[in-house]
Structure 1
Amino acid sequence: MSGLTGIVPILLTPFREDFSIDYASLRRELDHTLSAGVHGVGIAIGSEVFKLTPEERRELLRAVVDQVEGRVPVVMNVSAPGSEVACQLAREAAEAGAGRLMVWPPDFFPASADAVVDHLARIADAAGLPIILQDVPQAPIPPGLALRIADAVPLVDTIKVETQPTVLQVQAMVEAVGDRLTVLGGAGGGTLVEEHRRGARGTMPFASQSADFMAAWDALERGDAAAAEEVLARRILPVSRLGFQGRDLFYHVHKALLRRRCLFRTTLVRPPTDAPDAVTQGEIDRLLAHLSPAPAPKKETA
């Protein structure tokens, strides 16, 4: 099995007050993420990639690739409803230095299994990079189709499972694909322990919690599920519980975590978005105070 394994966080995109990309904050986020010992980094939906212009996508990817300097794979999501658009995005990602692509099937209109296989084959031919399939609610990939894709498109070597219920879907996928595809979890990583127990070989969480996920992963890999469960219960699940309450609140929560750690200057999310109301903002503030207590004030010396 040659697919991607381990903890591969998705970077959040920081914005200045005018909603341009804040590259200084991005560098701090990436340094912090790499220092946790992650196995890769990604630019995808968690990065608000669908809100970036084509030029911004290329510039963001180049900035990440330049800073990573080959230390870990850089994954770029090139999903698009049309094959020609996806192929262009794939070629641009390859030219900018991406090490892998991530793609979900066309979702604007339902596509047949034959059309999905053809779509992915075209993307593989366009870029020549390994591909992570993304099994998402808007374009689910049943285990049988995943196996067919793996047979038809050798560059597809990994699948990220995000359709609900993720634990059962991971189990079904592992049982179906065997050693043909590496199975990763997704959907925020809140069921990492259960997915690992059923054969998942990693997950792709938000970069704001890279160190926490690495602690949980290392515990799982050494056979200490209880320690991993403790990390999830204390550090990870409270964030998921709040962030996934509705719409795109998770962006606001995870950016608030990064700002709390002095990595981001703002918590801005590109429109359209719904800013947290006063009650929700209070919940975010209390969560941050619990996860990252403010440093004690320095005592004055005489």
Structure 2
Amino acid sequence: MTNRLQGVLPVIATPFDERWQIDRDALAREIDWLYDHRVDGVVVAMVSEILRLSTEERKELHEAVIAANRGRGPVVVGVGAESTVVARDLAQHAEASGADAVMITPPLLTRVSEDQLLAHLDAVVERVSIPVVFQDASSYVGEPVSVRLQAELVTSFGADRLLLKPEADPLGQRVSAILEATGGRARIFDGSGGVALFDTFRRGIVGTMPGPDLVWAVRGMWDALTQGDDELAVRISNPLTALISMVPGLDGYVAFEKYMLVKQGVLPHPRMRGPVSFEIDAGTEAMLELQAQALRDAVAGAPV
């Protein structure tokens, strides 16, 4: 299964209905749309708003995504939690529901020692038989996880058992440092949303986990990179980077992707569970439209 965990695996947006419940019909349409754009699998993670779901709702979302996925590619389920007990429970539920891998972050509200973090991870890894992706989510929250510790995780659990999604800057240099520290064995996903993809791909990542809204651009860029077409990759990378750089923080990223999914007819409504720290105003919307058109023009030359 580990060899299937590669390529373009977008993190789904969680649609909510007018009662603020998970809209399973809209979710299924979103996942169909993603596969129409040739993704290799799907992910449930932080930008799926899992931090604003109850534990039972997170399990409901796991089951809904796995059902809607219909075996078309691997499903990676985020199980990060402040409590080791909760993270372990979510991981076991994800595997029992048919997930192909789980992804875990360090506790976000508590600064723990490296020994405590290792114990937290070990308690999850030992309870599941599927691969575990360790996400350093410090691009959004928390403290960066050292290269040394990430390399130690790969050594301790094995490169096929424990994969990495580093996000701390400078990302490209971190990818190279981790690969050097693991003798090239680490299997690493880009976690930049596409901003650093040109750089991280050339350094040796195995895949990327962007948002769902611009997956058509990330897919085109990934294909260009794998085919050695650096000119096309740069042509897509420049407007993609400009577009994503307009969005501040986790709430900004969620607001932006839901706005774009609604504009593309994928989701019926951009509802986000509150409280939220960022909303798109008229000026931001106008600039997003200009940048999005530049990106569409660049992708028009991507290989099919």
Query: TM (normalized to structure 2)?
Result: 0.88
Q: Does 1:105 align with 2:110?
A: no
Matched, 1:242 2:246: yes
Residue of structure 2 equivalent to 1:129: 130
Q: Give the deviation of 1:265 after TM superposition.
A: 0.6
Shift of 1:84: 1.1
The Cα shift of 1:223 comes to 1.1
Whether 1:284 aligns to 2:285 is no
**Percentage of identical aligned residues:** 31
Q: For 2:78 and 2:293, locate their aligned partners in 1 and report how far apart those are by CA, in whole Å.
A: 33
Q: Is the 8 A contact 2:178 2:186 kept in 1?
A: no
**From 260, 263, 273, the counterpart of 2:263:** 260
- Contact conserved, 1:81 with 1:106, CA < 8 A, in 2? yes
Q: Could you say which structure has the larger radius of gyration? A: 1
Aligned length: 291
Q: 1:211 corresponds to which residue? A: 216
Matching residue of 2:60: 59
* 1:89-126 superposed Cα distances (whole Å, 9 cap, x missing partner): 11111122111011122343322222222211110122
Q: What RMSD over aligned residues (CA atoms) do the two structures have, in Å?
A: 2.2
Q: Which portions of structure 1, spanning 4 or more consecutive aligned residues, are displaced by more than 6 angstroms?
A: none
Aligned residue for 1:171?
A: 176
What residue number does 2:301 align with? Answer: none
5 Å matches for 1:31-180? 31-137=32-138, 138-154=142-158, 156-180=161-185
C-alpha deviation, 1:130, in angstroms: 0.5
CA distance in structure 2 between the partners assigned to 1:292 and 1:143 by the alignment: 36
Distance 1:292 1:185, change over 3 A: closer
1:130-150 C-alpha deviation (Å, 9 max, x unpaired): 101112221432222122212
- Pick from 234, 243, 256: which aligns with 1:229? 234
For structure 2, list consecutive stretches of 5 or more residues without a partner in the other structure: 298-304
CA contact (8 A) 2:2 2:131 kept: no
Cα contact 2:29–2:266 (8 A) shared by 1: yes
Q: Which runs of 5 or more residues in structure 1 are unaligned?
A: 294-302
SS at match of 1:117: helix
Relative distance call for 1:252 and 1:287 in structure 2 (3 A) is farther
- Cα separation, partners in 2 of 1:247 and 1:153, compared to 1, 3 Å: closer
The worse-fitting range, judged by mean Cα deviation, of 98-107 and 17-26 is 17-26
Match of 2:21 in 1: 20
Give the TM-score normalised by the residue count of structure 1.
0.89
Shift in alpha-carbon separation, 1:152–1:290, aligned structure 2, 3 A? closer
How far apart in 2 are the matches of 1:288 and 1:18? Answer: 31
